[in-house]
A and B are shown apart, each in its own frame.
Chain A
Amino acid sequence: MNQTISQIIQTALDAQAPLLSVPIDTSEGEATPLLGPGSVLDSLGLVTLILNIEEMVEMQMGIAITIVSEKAMSAYRSPFATIGSLAEFITSLIQKKQHA
């Protein structure tokens, strides 16, 4: 599932390319930073990314998830650090939904 989620994140990042002054370099794959040093996303960029991902997960997998929660915001290791950490976090949200 991680592969599908990573693909969704990649598509969501591509979607906002026209709004970014510098394109997001995803050559590092899952290690691509999303927030913090080395990232070009600002808070609005992150919001857009999250909204797009939620929308695509719902469309492609039929599962409604809410990515931003108190848990996500207060996690010791931010799920928004890299593509990989976000994919992992989203996968866990989906699995929880599936088993609920």
Chain B
Amino acid sequence: MNTLCELFSRFEAAKEKTALMTSKEEMTYEQLLAKIQDTDLLARKYGCDGITVLLIGDYSSSTIACLLALWRLGNVVALCCATQDALVNARAHLVQATRVIKIGEGNQIEILPTGIETSHPILSDMNHRKEAGFVIFSSGSTGQPKASIHSARAMLDKHVLQKRCLTSISFLLFDHIGGFNTLFYILFNVGKLVIPASRSPDMVAQAIAQHRVEAITASPTFLNLLVMSGALMRHDFSSLKVINYGTEPMPESLLVVLTQQLPWVRFSQAYGLSETGVIPAKSVSSLSTWITFDKEQCNIRIVDGLLEVKVKTSMLGYINASSPFTSDGYFKTGDAVQQEGDRYRVLGRQSDLINVGGEKVYPNEIENVLRNMPGVLEVAVTALENPIMGQVVGAAFKLQTTEKLTSFRRRLYEFCHQKLPAAYIPRKILITDALLHTARSKKLGAIALQSTLIKEGEMA
């Protein structure tokens, strides 16, 4: 693991610098190195040496030290931020982890044997060769998440090239591929990782102002919450230089508002999946939702309108599903894209496509329009099965003030009339106070939204 040695030598060279800043602790790179050493000894004592481990924790000095120590010892580390016992137990079985390591709120490390044996061929092989790796769970909206196994080497190698050293907040979670990518960007460039006390818009905004944060990686849904909650106006964002966004399509209307309110900030779209890692790409401009891929580092092609990628950071395989790769090594992303020369625009998941009597539309295209309707705070659109049209558009709205459904519907139809083709206009409407995003600040998945529209719609 030469790249890991390189990482540690960068820590050594920058030992006075602050690595982590939380509401509770501040840690230099020297202290982080010492913590890695302590954790290394503890992990050896508990036999974490060429095994598969489930690591439970969010961003903290202990979680980061633990991950790096475990990699140095040649372990495969499955990442999980959820702490509920039933979920931890299910995930430990899913990844066949022989140890579960829990990082407590006070940063204490607890290593527990599970009695589970690792028999999956990829995992056993990696464990046998003491190859460091990680497992990411995809955020499937229903059923069991898919667990993708990655080699640590590809992720580490990707970040070796020195870039700008920035003070950053990773809004995306530790167990999210985007969050994980941001963490290694910061560590390899010996930047400062600021960990807000919570992920609420005000707490994050406060942390940005207090620690003069220069970069943040977040989901469009969270950025929307920043705008809607007024946090963007209440706090000082003058230190910010770049906002990276990803995990879901960016509404163009939101990008316009953000670039108007933060004109000094560069906005850049990140694209990636749990299975592929973050794919080297950048936005054409701050105001554009088009991206260009770095074709020296990845191969891109479009088959039947869907994006396929071949990249070094791709997973080795799933634990609980068959290989999704084509015979020539491309990963089928399932994302529909538009192409213009070397520019691409991600339209959305093919599975989210709404087909109204043959007219096809992505929820994002409709949401972009509906979000501009006066009084609308949040909107989420999905397909609803319909015996006449096959599917129709359903939309759930969160409004600024209370409004009767009848008058809102009329207002909505007046608003939509000249702006959307008839097939794109929501035919089933729900006004709700419920959250239209998940705890991870991502828009509700289609299935959760459909069930909200069907169940709550009956009581509207």
Contacts and interface: CB of A to CB of B under 8 A. Distances in A.
A44 B357 contact: yes
A69 B386 CA distance: 11
Interface in A32-73: 42-44, 46-48, 50-52, 55, 58-59, 64, 68-69, 73
Contact of B389 (A11, A43, A58, A59): A43
B340 interface: no
A17 B413 CA distance: 8
A22 interface: no
A16 B459 CA distance: 21
A44 B414 contact: no
B38 to A, nearest CB: 62
Given A55-B460, A64-B458, A68-B387, A19 B416 contact: yes
A68 B299 CA distance: 48
B406 A51 contact: no
A42 B460 CA distance: 26
A44 B389 contact: yes
B429 to A, nearest CB: 9
A59 B460 contact: yes
Interface of B, helix, strand, loop or mixed by DSSP: mixed
A50 B387 CA distance: 11
Nearest to A21: B417
A48 B424 CA distance: 12
B387 A51 contact: no
Which of the four size classes fits the interface of chain A? 20 to 34
Interface residues of B, number: 24
A19 B416 CA distance: 8
Contacts of B315: none
A44 B423 CA distance: 7
B417 A19 contact: yes
A1 interface: no
Interface in B387-401: 387-389, 392
Contact of B413 (A18, A55, A69, A73): A18
B457 interface: yes
Nearest to B388: A47
B410 A15 contact: yes
B460 A44 contact: no
Interface in B142-179: none
Interface string B389-433: 100100000000000011001100110110000110101100000
B426 to A, nearest CB: 9
A15 B416 CA distance: 13
B356 interface: yes
A58 B460 CA distance: 9
B130 to A, nearest CB: 60
A73 B413 CA distance: 27
A51 B454 CA distance: 11
Contacts of A52: 409
A54 to B, nearest CB: 9
Nearest to A70: B387
Given A44-B356, A46-B388, A15 B423 contact: no
A55 B427 contact: no
A15 B405 CA distance: 10
Given A15-B413, A19-B413, A55 B389 contact: no
What 4 A-B pairs are tightest by C-beta distance, nearest first? A18-B413, A18-B414, A68-B387, A48-B427
Given A42-B422, A69-B387, 17 more contacts: A15-B409, A17-B413, A18-B410, A19-B416, A19-B422, A19-B425, A44-B356, A44-B389, A46-B388, A47-B389, A47-B427, A48-B427, A50-B388, A52-B409, A58-B458, A58-B459, A64-B458
Interface of B: 356-357, 386-389, 392, 405-406, 409-410, 413-414, 416-417, 422-423, 425, 427-428, 457-460
